[in-house]
Amino acid sequence: EEIKSFLSRQKEVYKIPYETHPADRPRQCVFGGTSNALDFLPLDRSGNRRFIPVMVYPEQAEVHILEDEAASRAYIEQMWA
């Protein structure tokens, strides 16, 4: 329940240095994680829509990030599009 609450929150309350009071600030981030286990998702009756599992198979990679930098950048930009 604590993880769900943390991931679902859309803003944080904190004080920036030299400001006098804390303020609500919208989150502008993405959380990522890795797991070797396939059953890592917690049992949740409301659904696990907070998590998007992505299976990665390095042997099927179309672009290797260290071999062709230009192709790697284009591939990464397309993922973020």
Q: What pLDDT digit, counting tens, does each position of 30-64 carry? A: 888 888 887 877 777 776 777 777 888 877 777 67
Number of domains forming the structure of the chain: 1
**Amino acid in the structure at residue 64:** H
pLDDT digits (tens, 9 = 90+) for 7-34: 888 999 999 999 999 999 999 888 888 8
Per-residue pLDDT, 72: 80
Per-residue pLDDT, 13: 93
Domain that holds residue 57: 2-80
Task: Mention every residue, 6+ apart, whose C-beta is less than 8 A from residue 24.
Answer: 11, 12, 13
Higher-scoring residue by pLDDT: 81, 74: 74
